[in-house]
């Protein structure tokens, strides 16, 4: 297990962070960013799980209709727009400048995770429900769908781990600052779920949108909007990977499908 590079990276990073070199101000800044990042991350994930489980019918939003329609639309579009922007060259530079002083670049991944978590938390807590419930599972079907929903979340967690838990959780930035080292990003992910499809995080997230036991107009709008995002946004990611990894990514892309596992691969080879 310890030979697994995904685990070895985490152990190395954590080991360096728990024995930081002197620097009270730097350590305090790192710990503050870490606490904010992981608290927001946990709150956002919990809000997502609960809100979608109830089909977006339970939330704290209370904007009067029809203005609620506009407010909900803003909540939907704000996440993918900012999430994608901060991954561009211009967005990355802005991300660094958001933190005054010499540590903006080191903390960039943590800052990115904080912003993304705050956006998701806003979406799932400030949504104004329509009050319409089309369908709600009960009996055995409820437990079957709930199991599918839980499985979708487990797949999302596994895909995030395969991609690099330290990056996905925001820990890379603040732990690197704590240890006073340059953040080291994981190599292009190829293992785990990434050996089956190139975009398991987006696929798993899309599955969480459609495996809920309560269906409302709210959930349908959210599911359609973010499924489209999950299908299109990775194209931008793959352009970055093509520039960064070159021939290595080209070989990977040639052998691993985009979002659907190549179930007939063995049969085709046999033929």
Q: What is the per-residue pLDDT for 47?
A: 96
pTM of the full predicted structure? 0.88
- Cβ neighbors of 83 (< 8 A, separation 6 or more) are 116, 119, 233
Highest mean pLDDT among 76-85, 207-216, 227-236: 207-216
Whether 270 has a pLDDT exceeding 70, the answer reads: no
Q: CA nearest 49: which of 122, 115, 124, 127?
A: 124
- Encoding tokens for residue 96? 């660094």
Q: What is the per-residue pLDDT for 3?
A: 64
| CA 265 – CA 256 distance, rounded (Å) | 10
Could you give the C-alpha distances from 32 to 40, 178, 233, in angstroms and in order?
A: 12, 11, 31
Q: CA nearest 73: which of 117, 113, 128?
A: 128
Mean pLDDT, rounded, for 63-75: 94
Q: How many CA atoms lie within 13 A of 129 on its CB side?
A: 18
Is 49 buried (19+), middle (13-18) or exposed (0-12) by CB count in 10 A? Answer: middle
Question: Tokens 């933190």 label which residue?
Answer: 99
Q: What is the per-residue pLDDT for 2?
A: 55
Interior angle at CA 121, CA 238 and CA 237, nearest 5? 5
Mean pLDDT, rounded, for 242-271: 76
Q: CA nearest 206: which of 130, 241, 155, 256?
A: 155
Whether 191 has a pLDDT exceeding 50, the answer reads: yes
Interior angle at CA 227, CA 226 and CA 229, nearest 5? 60
What H or E segment, with its residue span, contains residue 15? helix 5-17
| CA 260 – CA 197 distance, rounded (Å) | 6
pLDDT cut 90: percent of the chain above it: 58
Q: How many CA atoms lie within 13 A of 230 on its CB side?
A: 22
Q: Where are the alpha helices (DSSP H) in 98-198?
A: 108-126, 139-168, 171-179
Residue-wise pLDDT tens digits, 4-42: 777 878 788 888 888 889 989 889 999 999 999 999 999
| CA 104 – CA 99 distance, rounded (Å) | 5
Could you give the C-alpha distances from 21 to 141, 180, 184, in angstroms and in order?
A: 55, 7, 18
- Encoding tokens for residue 186? 């994981």
Q: CA nearest 171: which of 114, 110, 232?
A: 110
Q: What is the per-residue pLDDT for 267?
A: 40
Whether 265 has a pLDDT exceeding 70, the answer reads: no
């Amino acid at each position: 297990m310890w030979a697994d590079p995904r685990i070895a990276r985490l152990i190395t990073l954590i080991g360096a962070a728990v024995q930081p070199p002197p620097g009270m101000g730097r350590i305090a800044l790192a710990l503050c960013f870490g606490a904010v990042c992981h608290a927001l991350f946990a709150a956002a994930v919990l809000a997502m799980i609960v809100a979608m489980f109830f089909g977006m019918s339970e939330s704290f939003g209370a904007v009067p209709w029809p203005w609620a329609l506009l407010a909900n639309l803003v909540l939907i579009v704000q996440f993918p727009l900012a999430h994608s922007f901060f991954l561009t060259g211009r967005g990355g530079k802005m991300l660094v400048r958001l933190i005054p002083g010499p540590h903006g670049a080191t903390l960039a991944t943590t800052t990115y995770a904080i912003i993304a978590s705050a956006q998701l938390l806003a979406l799932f807590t400030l949504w104004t429900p329509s009050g319409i419930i089309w369908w709600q599972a009960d009996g055995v079907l409820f437990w079957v769908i709930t199991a599918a929903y839980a499985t979708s979340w487990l797949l999302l967690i596994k895909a995030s781990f395969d991609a690099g838990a330290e990056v996905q959780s925001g820990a890379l930035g603040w732990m690197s600052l704590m240890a006073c080292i340059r953040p080291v990003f994981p190599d292009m992910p190829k293992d785990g779920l990434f050996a089956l499809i190139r975009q398991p995080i987006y696929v798993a997230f899309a599955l969480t949108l459609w495996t809920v036991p309560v269906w409302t107009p709210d959930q349908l709008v959210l599911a359609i909007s973010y499924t489209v995002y999950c299908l299109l946004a990775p194209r931008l990611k793959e352009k970055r990977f093509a520039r960064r990894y070159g021939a290595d990514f080209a070989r990977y892309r040639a052998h691993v499908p985009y979002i659907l596992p190549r179930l007939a691969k063995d049969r085709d080879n046999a033929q």
